[in-house]
A and B are shown apart, each in its own frame.
Chain A
């Protein structure tokens, strides 16, 4: 089956720093989503981005479907950005396949 790999597995930042999270996938996909899981376990959808670039405040995401990767950019990080970031893909079904996540810790 398709493999979804995220890097880095862990990231520690000081408040105000920028970061880039990467998601590689091993096959063509129908869509790709980025999620943030806060320290209390709640998962929130950040982006639905099968291709192209989207921005939402300090966050932006780019998916290059032909090269099978997606990037999530976090600028001017804040402590509230801490948590785990997941990318998830689907292959023309409604079933999402998740990567193993990047754990981000932002310190003041």
Chain B
């Protein structure tokens, strides 16, 4: 079975802090994704990556950056956290057949 893990289930940070959310997949997938989920808005794509050191902006990249130094790991970075970045963050990887496999999510609260 594909396994996608995220570094934290719950995280509380203060405004202005730099925040790292990490995602690791164990199936050698090339494509990885970061989404945020907010009530009434569904899931929205922040960034995705087709391969190591490659990244593409999604629909809402402002205020975020990403890093993919190794194939199995995709990190989401909030350079200076703000209260409007309080959300549920979901990581996914995609294998053959275009099926996306999701991690358990990180619920981030920015105070």
Residues in A lying within 8 Å of B, measured CB to CB:
4, 31, 33, 35, 40-45, 48, 86, 88, 90, 94-96, 98-101
Contact = CB atoms under 8 A, between A and B. Distances in A.
A33 to B, nearest CB: 7
7 contacts: A35-B102, A41-B88, A48-B98, A86-B42, A96-B45, A98-B42, A98-B44
Instruction: Classify the interface of chain A: helix, strand, loop or mixed.
Output: strand
A95 B104 contact: no
B42 A33 contact: no
B94 interface: yes
A101 B50 CA distance: 27
Contacts of A41: 88, 90, 104-105, 107
| Residue from A40, A45, A88, A96 whose CB has the most chain B CB atoms within 10 Å | A96
B43 interface: yes
Interface in B1-53: 31, 33, 35, 40-45, 48, 50
| Residue from B41, B42, B90, B94 whose CB has the most chain A CB atoms within 10 Å | B42
Instruction: Classify the interface of chain B: helix, strand, loop or mixed.
Output: strand
A99 B105 contact: no
B45 A95 contact: yes
Contact of A94 (B31, B43, B88): B31
A96 B104 contact: no
Contacts of A100: 40-42
Interface string B66-98: 000000000000000000000010101010011
B42 A99 contact: yes
B90 A43 contact: yes
A95 B98 CA distance: 10
Closest 5 CB pairs of A and B: A43-B102, A98-B42, A41-B105, A98-B43, A100-B42
B58 interface: yes
A78 to B, nearest CB: 22
A40 B45 contact: no
Given A40-B104, A41-B105, A101 B42 contact: yes
